[in-house]
């Protein structure tokens, strides 16, 4: 069976912000941000003693509404909190369920109950199984979890992210083969916006759709880096004008040869630009 052709999503995911579900002030602030999506976190950002309170707070927050899609990150499948988290998610109808440390395609398949699933790829086994995980019906996207991966790989952190080179490529390939969204990992230094921008540009160059974030100050940086600029949109319009005037075949545009694939790429760029303008 041929692999599905990746299609641009109707909703941009340039910036996906994690917010601790039990932090009422952070949740309220997130409502006014320009993030493309928010993830109410019941896992790492919540102290074990506060899990139940965070679950209740997340349910209430989801009922209040946001200006963007809101997902819910559950505790892992092996956590004693998982079942209660899942029940809360099904009752509150988030835009998606984020599952940490996804490794088992069968378990993910059994979990799909009509809510889009977003799988965190943050273990070596998860990376190796990324293609089968991405192909499970109901999976909407893959999210790289770099912190756990660095620990599991015994890797050093470097500005070029050399230790994650294989992971970033493998997760992206799995997502594209399955036609789902690919999101880059969080950037931990809250004060280093230049470093964040460097990682965003690197991920965008690779082909990622957006980046997961941990602080409101990071949202605008990610939106710019993963968004389509006016210059890029105009270049796409110019290319299509040349292509449409020629009709078909191989055409010269501004000194270089273009063909149908370049026209399709330009149309995708303009579609992304239009979506971003609608959500701005």
State pLDDT tens for residues 79-132.
Answer: 999 999 999 999 999 999 999 999 999 999 998 888 999 999 999 999 999 999
Q: Are strands 37-41 and 15-20 parallel, antiparallel or unpaired?
A: parallel
Q: What is the pLDDT of residues 6-60, one digit of tens each?
A: 444 578 999 999 999 999 999 999 998 999 999 999 998 899 999 999 999 999 9
Please give the annotated binding residues for substrate, written as ranges.
Answer: 73, 122
For the chain, list the domains and their CATH numbers.
15-226 (3.20.20.60), 230-279 (no CATH)
Average pLDDT, the chain: 91
User: What's the rounded Cα separation, in Å, for the pair 47 and 20?
Assistant: 10
Please give the annotated binding residues for Mg(2+), written as ranges.
Answer: 122, 148
Q: Which two tokens stand for residue 189?
A: 């230094």
Mean pLDDT, residues 139-144 taken together: 98
Q: Return the percentage of the chain with pLDDT > 70, whole number.
A: 95
Which residue in the block uniquely carries the two structure tokens 């819910």?
A: 72
Q: What is the pLDDT of residue 1?
A: 38
Q: Which residues contact 228 (CB under 8 A, 6 or more apart)?
A: 269, 270, 272, 273, 276
What region does 212 belong to: left with phi over 0, alpha with psi -120 to 50, or beta?
Answer: beta
∠ CA 260-226-89, rounded to 5°: 110
Q: Are strands 251-253 and 37-41 parallel, antiparallel or unpaired?
A: unpaired
Please give the annotated binding residues, written as ranges.
Answer: 73, 122, 148
Mean pLDDT, residues 201-223 taken together: 97
Report the 10 Å Cβ neighbour count for 229. 10
Q: What is the pLDDT of residue 280?
A: 62
Q: Are strands 139-144 and 117-121 parallel, antiparallel or unpaired?
A: parallel
Mean pLDDT, residues 134-147 taken together: 97
Burial class of 160 by CB neighbour count within 10 A (0 to 12, 13 to 18, 19+): exposed
The 8-class DSSP code of residue 150 comes to H
Mean pLDDT, residues 181-191 taken together: 97
Q: Return the percentage of the chain with pLDDT > 90, whole number.
A: 72
Phi/psi at 121 (nearest 5 deg)? -100, 100
User: What's the rounded Cα separation, in Å, for the pair 263 and 271?
Assistant: 12
Q: Are strands 139-144 and 251-253 parallel, antiparallel or unpaired?
A: unpaired
Residue 4 pLDDT more than 70?
no
* Residue 249 confidence class, pLDDT cut points 50, 70, 90: confident
């Amino acid at each position: 069976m041929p692999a599905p052709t990746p299609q641009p999503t109707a909703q941009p995911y340039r910036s996906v912000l994690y917010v601790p579900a039990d932090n009422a002030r952070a949740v309220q602030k997130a409502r006014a941000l320009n993030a493309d999506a928010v993830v109410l976190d019941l896992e790492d950002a919540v102290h074990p003693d506060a899990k139940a309170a965070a679950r209740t707070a997340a349910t209430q927050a989801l009922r209040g509404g946001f200006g963007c899609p809101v997902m819910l990150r559950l505790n892992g499948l092996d956590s004693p909190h998982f079942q209660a988290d899942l029940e809360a998610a099904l009752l509150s109808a988030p835009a998606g369920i984020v599952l940490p440390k996804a490794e088992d395609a069968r378990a993910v398949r059994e979990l799909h109950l009509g809510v889009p699933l977003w799988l965190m790829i943050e273990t070596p086994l998860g990376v190796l199984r990324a293609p089968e995980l991405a192909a499970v019906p109901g999976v909407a996207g893959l999210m790289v979890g770099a912190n756990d991966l660095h620990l599991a790989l015994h890797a050093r952190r470097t500005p070029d992210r050399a230790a994650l080179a294989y992971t970033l490529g493998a997760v992206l390939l799995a997502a594209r083969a399955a036609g789902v969204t690919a999101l880059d990992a969080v950037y931990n230094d809250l004060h280093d916006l230049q470093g964040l921008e460097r990682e965003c540009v690197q991920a965008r160059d690779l082909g990622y759709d957006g980046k997961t974030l941990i602080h409101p100050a990071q949202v605008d940086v990610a939106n710019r880096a993963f968004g389509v600029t006016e210059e890029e949109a105009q270049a796409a319009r110019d290319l299509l004008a040349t292509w449409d005037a020629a009709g078909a075949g191989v055409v010269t545009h501004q000194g270089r040869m273009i063909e149908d694939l370049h026209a399709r790429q330009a149309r995708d760029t303009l579609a992304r630009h239009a979506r971003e303008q609608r959500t701005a």
